Amino acid sequence: MKLTVGHLYPDYLNIYADRGNIAVLVRRAAWRGLELEVVPIGLGEPLRAGEHDLLYLGGGQDREQGLIAPDIAAKGPALAEAVAGGAAVLAVCGGYQLLGRFYRDRYGSELPGAGLLPVHTVAGERRMIGDVLLECELVPGERRTLAGFENHAGRTILDPGTEPLGRVVSGFGNDGASGLEGARAGRVVGTYLHGPLLPRNPWFADWLLTQAVAHRTGGEPAPFEPLDDGLEAEAHAVSAARAKARGGRRSR
């Protein structure tokens, strides 16, 4: 089976090796006998709903976000149509912010977003930087942890009733106060976690792939056979220990 990933703005949104997330998805898919085709979608290029099983956006500095914001805002309806059709989405940091209604940067400029996630973001004075550890439950009854790295000025506010990706065990998360990190709407996930995120959180990479397979087959997501993730587990443990060493939730 061949799956297709639409990589939005790979030339603008790619800090902290966020491109590494794509490499992990390609490799873990291949280990399951699945081919993953990665299609870049750049500025001004069309996004046709239904063509992609998974859409991906990396992080970016305010300047790069400013360059792509009008384009992603214009892609809002196509993104909503793709998601309504069952496509999965992973957006990291600056990409996450621009899946919301807007990102107001530290100069007060309001960058329009795609409006796909019920959130908005406002930059604060001080950056929230460091290792992060989350507790999440993407699959009911399955508590898991996510470990990564954050570096953002933006404070993301979830609309009431919006599901976060997880609860902050250590780190700042969305705003350094709510104890929440990321946002989730079905198969759409936004997070501040860089690293890149997926090499040290293979269960989450697999979750995304199962959503993509479900989109391709029209069926329900079904878990894969586990792989030997010993190395990944070590990377996770190191990252989680660093986050814990920061000492609990931080607030600004």
Residues identified as active-site: 93, 194
172 contacts 149 by C-beta, under 8 angstroms: no
Residue, CB closest to ligand GLN:
59
Which of 120, 152, 200, 215 is close enough to bind ligand GLN by CB under 6 A? 152
DSSP 110-171: EEE----SSEEEEEEEEEEEEEEEEEEEEETTEEEEEEEEEEEEEEEEEPTTPBPSEEEEEB
Question: Strand 88-92 and strand 188-191: pairing?
Answer: parallel
Region from 40-48, 61-69, 224-232, 237-245 binding ligand GLN, contact rule CB under 6 A: 61-69
Which of 6, 94, 148, 166 is close enough to bind ligand GLN by CB under 6 A? 94
87 binds ligand GLN (CB under 6 A): no
What is the number of H-type helices and E-type strands within the chain? 6, 12
Region from 20-28, 56-64, 199-207, 225-233 binding ligand GLN, contact rule CB under 6 A: 56-64
Region from 4-12, 107-115, 149-157, 213-221 binding ligand GLN, contact rule CB under 6 A: 149-157
Q: Which of 188, 192, 168 is nearest to 178 (CA)?
A: 168
Q: Which is nearer to ligand GLN, 38 or 93 (CB)?
A: 93
Minimum distance between the CB of residue 168 and ligand GLN, rounded to whole angstroms?
Answer: 16
65 binds ligand GLN (CB under 6 A): yes
Q: Which is nearer to ligand GLN, 90 or 209 (CB)?
A: 90
* Rounded Cα–Cα distance for residues 34 and 7 (Å): 18
14 binds ligand GLN (CB under 6 A): no
109 binds ligand GLN (CB under 6 A): no
Minimum distance between the CB of residue 93 and ligand GLN, rounded to whole angstroms?
Answer: 3
Minimum distance between the CB of residue 210 and ligand GLN, rounded to whole angstroms?
Answer: 26
In terms of phi and psi (left: phi > 0; alpha: psi -120 to 50; beta: otherwise), the region of 3 is beta
What secondary structure, in 3-state letters, does 159-196 show? CCCCECCEEEEEECCCCCCCCEECEEECCEEEECCECC
Which of 93, 122, 168, 208 is close enough to bind ligand GLN by CB under 6 A? 93
Q: Which of 120, 9, 22 is nearest to 61 (CA)?
A: 9
Length of the chain: 252
Interface positions with ligand GLN (CB under 6 A): 15, 59-62, 65, 93-94, 123, 151-154
